[in-house]
Amino acid sequence: MKTLTIILTGGPYISEDAQMVFRIADAALKRYQVNIFLYLDAVHIPHLGQNPAFFADEGELFKELAERGAVIRACSRCAAARGYIAKEDGSSQDYHDGIKISSLYDLPKMISGSDGVISLCR
């Protein structure tokens, strides 16, 4: 199976980037293994308890992707700088299940093992 990696840097609700990543990954999961790497403010996306009044809950959307097999990782340094602490297994009490915090060094591994890479950066 081919692999697609998506890199996202923008946080939730400041643009449509997170929802665009969801739509791309949703379609790609039908034919690809999908990796998503959350960097900079994108580490806020999987935070539990978000309740946006006028938008889809992007954390729930990404949780759905993880449940369907997408590998979703958040940069550990970015997450720690924003108050999200990883447990030993990479999970966080602040994040939806299936989404883990990992080293930035995992990103080159994801990229090198991919058939295609999409980067949505600000």
Cα atoms in the Cβ-side hemisphere of radius 13 Å centred on 89: 7
Is the per-residue pLDDT at 122 higher than 80? no
Which single residue is written with the structure tokens 């720690």? Answer: 80
- For the segment 81-110, what is each residue's pLDDT rounded down to a tens digit? 999 999 999 999 999 999 999 999 999 999
Say which residue the tokens 């108050």 belong to.
83
pLDDT digits (tens, 9 = 90+) for 49-70: 998 988 899 999 999 999 999 9
Q: Could you state, in order of their start, the residue ranges of all structural domains in the chain?
A: 2-120
Q: What is the pLDDT of residues 6-28, one digit of tens each?
A: 999 999 998 999 999 999 999 99
pTM: 0.96
Q: Which CATH superfamily is domain 2-120 in?
A: DsrEFH-like (3.40.1260.10)
